[in-house]
Amino acid sequence: MSAVRAFGRFWYEFIVGDDWRIAAGVAVVLGLGAVAVAIGLTGPGLPIAALFGLVVIFVWPLLGE
């Protein structure tokens, strides 16, 4: 394995860990939140909706374990 691949693999395992769905879920929720903010949805409901989204992406894969 080349040094670059080993370096990339180390950071992948360090940040993404043993369940890629967590990192992917966080990226999706924050991405959707960014789009909502960009189109002007910055009311008090947005943080609550984003938190709800985070809870869903955490709970869903665990219920399938």
Partner 1 sequence: MIGLTPEELALVGATFLASAVEIVETFTILLAMGLTRGWRSTIVGALVALAVLVTLTVVVGYTILRLIPESLLQLVIGGLLLVFGLQWLRKAVLRSSGLKAMHDEAAIFAEEAAASRAAGNERVLGLDWFAFVVSFKGVLLEGLEVVVIVLTFGISAGNIPLAAAGALLAILPITALVIVIRGPLARVPENAIKMVVGLLLTTFGSFWAIEGLGLFATGQASLDWPLGDVALAVVLVTWIVVARALVVLLRRRRPAVATSVA
Q: For binding to partner 1 (CB under 8 A), which residues are involved?
A: 14-19, 22-23, 26-27, 30, 33-38, 40, 42, 44, 46-48, 50-51, 54-55, 58-59, 62-63, 65
Quote the least distance from Cβ 42 to partner 1, whole Å.
5
Are 22 and 55 a contacting pair, CB within 8 Å? no
Quote the least distance from Cβ 8 to partner 1, whole Å.
16
Which of 2/28 has CB closer to partner 1?
28
d(CA 20, CA 13): 9
d(CA 39, CA 33): 10
